[in-house]
Amino acid sequence: MTTKHTIASETWVTMFSSALGWMGIVGSERGLRNLTFGHASSKDALAALGNVSASKGELPHWMQETRELLVAYSRGDAVDLNRIPLDVAHRTPFEKRVREQLASIGYGRTISYGELAEAAGKPRAARAVGSIMARNPLPLVIPCHRVLGAKGKLGGYSAPSGLTMKSRLLNLEKGDTAGARVPGRPKS
């Protein structure tokens, strides 16, 4: 008989304001678990993270750096979000390959759902890629906004404001920070 041991891991949660609205991140000792952004308030960001409980105390260094990187990204700085350590469970080997391929898509570049499926080893699985993108717990870091439909159509996007936010992110990465602002927020 095999006994399964579960090691409790500390969890940290932080909310912060950015040029893309309020963001919230959840992390463990291993890395980032969840990210939400584009919210009107810290309360909205916390609600979007779901039922999370945080340990008390100072955030780990990697999480403070993650917050700084995300704020810089939201201003339009071309930062390397691949530096952020991740603590993400992959449901299937295909999902893991899709996320790995997506993480390699450079700042300001795009790929179609079909091209991403092919790069992940299943050329006819564009719809499956779309489903994986819809469940992405780490938008921006695993840049699902860079995945487009056939003929360059935006496709879908599950962040607040949906396709408006996706378009805003693509404009931000093209250097159009004015087009990337959240309406009603002053320029930084």
Active site residues: 144
* 3-class secondary-structure state, position 18: strand
CB neighbours (10 Å) of residue 146? 20
Burial of 58 by CB count in 10 Å (0-12 exposed, 13-18 middle, 19+ buried)? Answer: exposed
Contact 37, 166 (CB under 8 A): no
Contact 27, 66 (CB under 8 A): yes
